[in-house]
């Protein structure tokens, strides 16, 4: 700290992976000092139960060694209660946008080395592949009667989360799947296989444990984390040129926090505070499966042909669940997005449609006995995917001191560390230094 270091009151809105990574990197910036910089992170929710069925595993650290995994801090309940706790957790050098991806991929690796991320948040290198399969009706799963067709995720071809991995499926090599991909019923169902990512350029984390860790590490260096605190307004100075404070509701009372720099990282809720930021959202369901033995480290982008009469589907269709083996011995699978239920006020009100989770389970079981017949579904969940960005940077206009970091699409877990680092530079140095903001800069696009 030098005598010229200005005093800053920094308020971060949102305790998802983006807000928590920003909090972490602010406290690691060379000019940060807890004596001159007050940082508060406000998270609207005070529980992670929203968007998860009551019978789901509520704390993923219970699946691994409690001595080394990131532990639940009850004072932080609500952190990672949205997409940041229910995402797959894939990281890839081939993700987008490419102006920040290499920085973020490298930072993930460095964070894991510095803080024991392999044990603390399940960081590991993995393979990624694209597979084309034909499902057979899985034993132990009923036909149509199992699922209410009215709530089936319908449409003849259901697209996944748009990770943009698709190549011409006709170009997929016939078979040729690696031997250790032995949990897919390759002999029965595989019609095409192509490698997409290798451990050189692909990795994964458990997103809830990673986000939890960023929050804890930031708090250990002086960030004040307040959950159950929903920001209702960002207040400007009388002449409108600067942010002055932030108002939030907690326990039915309004509180005002002096704020010189307000970073809005409210994921899909961002436009409710900053209407000029065009982040949109769509709901997505996912499940966590516990097979009888851990399965090898592959992330699979599937195209599964379902015959007519398969589970809830009356017509033949192609579905694209993504399936990620995890180092905690589980596998994660997510389905397509839907717009059946608009974004609720907070994470607590996110509705899980059990039929959509059942669809994903049936589809996975249709190509893998290990993940179907011989496995247990231990979590059924839903969350809202933020779309449209990412937007990272100070908003233009006459008011200084409002920074946005939102709209990270299906690569927000991958791009969180770079976002955190860049926002720390924008707030404490006045400009992004470690990577070009390019098309992420809200001043260029809004």
Ligand X SMILES: Cc1cc2nc3c(=O)[nH]c(=O)nc-3n(C[C@H](O)[C@H](O)[C@H](O)COP(=O)(O)OP(=O)(O)OC[C@H]3O[C@@H](n4cnc5c(N)ncnc54)[C@H](O)[C@@H]3O)c2cc1C
| Residues making contact with ligand X (CB under 6 A) | 13-19, 42-45, 81-84, 87-90, 161, 230-231, 265-269, 273, 284, 286, 334, 346-347, 383, 385-386, 406, 408-414
* Strand ordering across the sheet containing 253-258: 230-236, 243-250, 253-258
Q: Nearest approach, Cβ of 130 to ligand X (angstroms)?
A: 15
Q: Nearest approach, Cβ of 215 to ligand X (angstroms)?
A: 11
Q: Which two tokens stand for residue 341?
A: 């239920």
Whole-number Å distance between alpha carbons of 65 and 47: 23
Q: Nearest approach, Cβ of 419 to ligand X (angstroms)?
A: 8
Q: Nearest approach, Cβ of 414 to ligand X (angstroms)?
A: 4
Nearest to ligand X of 18, 135 (CB atom): 18
Q: Nearest approach, Cβ of 293 to ligand X (angstroms)?
A: 23
Nearest to ligand X of 189, 386 (CB atom): 386
Nearest to ligand X of 185, 442 (CB atom): 442
Nearest to ligand X of 147, 405 (CB atom): 405
Cis amide linkage into residue 49, ω under 30° from 0: no
Nearest to ligand X of 267, 291 (CB atom): 267
Nearest to ligand X of 82, 138 (CB atom): 82
Q: Nearest approach, Cβ of 78 to ligand X (angstroms)?
A: 7
């Amino acid at each position: 700290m030098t005598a010229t270091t200005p005093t800053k009151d920094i308020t971060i809105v949102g305790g998802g992976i983006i807000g928590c990574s920003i909090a972490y990197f602010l406290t690691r910036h060379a000019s940060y000092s807890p004596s001159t910089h007050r940082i508060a992170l406000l998270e609207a929710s005070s529980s992670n139960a929203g968007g998860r069925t009551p019978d789901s595993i509520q704390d993923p650290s219970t699946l691994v060694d409690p001595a080394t995994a990131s532990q639940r801090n009850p004072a932080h309940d609500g952190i990672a209660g949205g997409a940041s706790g229910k995402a797959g957790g894939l990281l890839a050098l081939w993700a987008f946008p490419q102006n920040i991806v290499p920085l973020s991929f490298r930072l993930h690796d460095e964070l894991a080395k510095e803080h024991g991320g392999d044990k603390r948040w399940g960081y590991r290198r993995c393979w990624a592949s694209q597979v084309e399969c034909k499902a057979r009706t899985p034993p132990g799963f009923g036909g149509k009667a199992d699922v209410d067709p009215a709530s089936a995720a319908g449409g003849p071809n259901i697209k996944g989360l748009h990770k943009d991995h698709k190549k011409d499926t006709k170009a997929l090599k016939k078979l040729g799947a690696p031997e250790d991909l032995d949990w897919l019923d390759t002999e029965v169902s595989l019609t095409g296989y192509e490698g997409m990512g290798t451990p050189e350029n692909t990795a994964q984390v458990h997103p809830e444990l990673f986000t939890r860790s960023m929050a804890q590490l930031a708090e250990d260096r002086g960030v004040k984390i307040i959950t159950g605190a929903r920001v209702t307004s960002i207040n400007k100075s009388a002449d409108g040129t600067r942010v002055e404070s932030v108002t939030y509701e907690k326990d039915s009372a309004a509180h005002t926090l002096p704020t010189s720099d307000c970073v809005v990282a409210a994921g899909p809720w961002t436009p409710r505070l900053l209407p000029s930021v065009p982040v949109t959202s769509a709901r997505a369901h996912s499940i966590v499966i516990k097979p009888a033995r851990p399965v090898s480290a592959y992330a699979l982008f599937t195209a599964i042909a379902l015959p007519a009469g398969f589970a809830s589907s009356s017509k033949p269709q192609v579905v694209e669940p993504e399936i990620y083996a995890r180092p905690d011995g589980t596998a994660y699978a997510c389905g397509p997005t839907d717009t059946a239920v608009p974004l609720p006020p907070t994470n607590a009100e996110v509705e899980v449609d059990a039929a959509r989770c059942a669809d994903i389970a049936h589809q996975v079981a249709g190509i893998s006995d290990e993940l179907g017949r011989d496995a247990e579904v231990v979590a059924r969940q839903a969350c809202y995917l933020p779309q449209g960005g990412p937007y990272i940077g100070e908003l233009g206009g006459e008011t200084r001191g409002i920074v946005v970091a939102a709209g990270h699409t299906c690569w927000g877990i991958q791009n969180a560390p770079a976002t955190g680092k860049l926002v720390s530079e924008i707030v404490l140095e006045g400009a992004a230094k470690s990577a070009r903001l390019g098309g992420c800069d809200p001043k260029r696009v809004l």
